[in-house]
Amino acid sequence: MNHSRHSRVKDEHVRSLLGGEQLQRLLARLRKRMSRGEKLTGKIQLHNATSNERAAIDRLMGRLPTRGHSLTIDLDQLAAILTHAQACDSLEEAIIAVVGPIPNQRAQSLSRQEHWKQLWLTSIEQAQGNQAALGWIADLKTSGLLKRAAGGDSRVAQPLLGQALPIVLQMPLPAIRLAELAATTTGNSHALDRGQPLAALVIRLSRQFDESSRWKTSAQRRDAWETLGVLCDELSAPVLVLNLRADSQSLTGRALNLHADAGEPYRMSVRQLRRHPPSFDLKSCGPEVFVCENPTVVDVAANRLGPRCCPLVCLDGQPKSSAHLLLSLLTQAGIRIRYHGDFDWDGIRIANTVMRRHGATAWRFSTPDYVAASEKKHALKGTPIAAEWDTNLAGLMVRVGKCLHEEHVLETLLRDLKQRP
The mean predicted confidence, pLDDT, of the chain is: 88
pLDDT band with cut points at 50, 70 and 90 for residue 9: very low
Determine which helix (DSSP H) or strand (DSSP E) holds 237, and give its type and residue range.
Answer: none
Q: What one-letter code names the amino acid at 372? A: A
pLDDT at 30: 86
Higher-pLDDT residue of 34 and 9 is 34
pLDDT at 109: 60
Is the pLDDT assigned to residue 209 strictly greater than 60? yes
Strand, coil or helix: what is 40?
coil
pLDDT at 332: 95
Choice among 35-39, 110-114, 383-387 with the minimum mean pLDDT: 110-114
- What average pLDDT does range 126-147 have in this prediction? 92
Is the pLDDT assigned to residue 138 strictly greater than 70? yes
Is the pLDDT assigned to residue 350 strictly greater than 60? yes
Neighbours of 216 (CB within 10 A): 7
pLDDT at 94: 83
- What average pLDDT does range 205-216 have in this prediction? 84
Q: Which residues have a Cβ under 8 Å from the Cβ of 350 and sit 6 or more positions away?
A: 210, 293, 315, 317, 318, 319, 341
CA distance 50 to 46: 10
Q: What is the DSSP string of 126-139?
A: HTTT-HHHHHHHHH
Is the pLDDT assigned to residue 238 strictly greater than 70? yes
CA distance 207 to 341: 19
Among residues 405, 394, 353, 358, which one has the least CA distance to residue 211? 353
Neighbours of 388 (CB within 10 A): 14
Domains of the chain in start order, with CATH, are 3-103 (no CATH), 106-231 (no CATH), 239-417 (3.40.1360.10)
What per-residue string of b and e applies to 2-15 under the rule 16 or more CB within 10 Å gives b? Answer: eeeeeeeebbebbe
Neighbours of 324 (CB within 10 A): 24
pLDDT in tens, 323-344: 999 999 999 999 999 999 999 9
Dihedral of CA 178/180/184/190: which sign? positive
- What average pLDDT does range 315-323 have in this prediction? 89
pLDDT in tens, 356-381: 989 999 999 999 999 988 667 788 98
pLDDT in tens, 394-417: 999 999 999 999 999 999 999 999
Residues 102, 31: contact at Cβ < 8 Å?
Answer: yes
CA distance 229 to 174: 6
Percent of the chain with pLDDT strictly greater than 70: 94
Higher-pLDDT residue of 421 and 193 is 193
pLDDT band with cut points at 50, 70 and 90 for residue 2: very low
CA distance 369 to 390: 12
Is the pLDDT assigned to residue 239 strictly greater than 90? yes
Strand, coil or helix: what is 167?
helix
- What average pLDDT does range 18-27 have in this prediction? 85
Distances (CA, A) of 237 to 138, 269, 314: 29, 7, 12
E-strand ranges in 218-287 read: 230-231, 239-242, 266-268
* DSSP secondary structure code for residue 63 in this structure: -
pLDDT band with cut points at 50, 70 and 90 for residue 13: confident
CA distance 285 to 251: 16
* DSSP secondary structure code for residue 336 in this structure: E
C-alpha count within 13 angstroms, C-beta hemisphere, residue 319: 31
CA distance 142 to 140: 6
pLDDT in tens, 248-282: 999 999 999 999 999 999 999 988 998 899 999 99
Choice among 87-96, 162-171, 345-354, 412-421 with the minimum mean pLDDT: 87-96
- What average pLDDT does range 213-228 have in this prediction? 85
Neighbours of 178 (CB within 10 A): 22
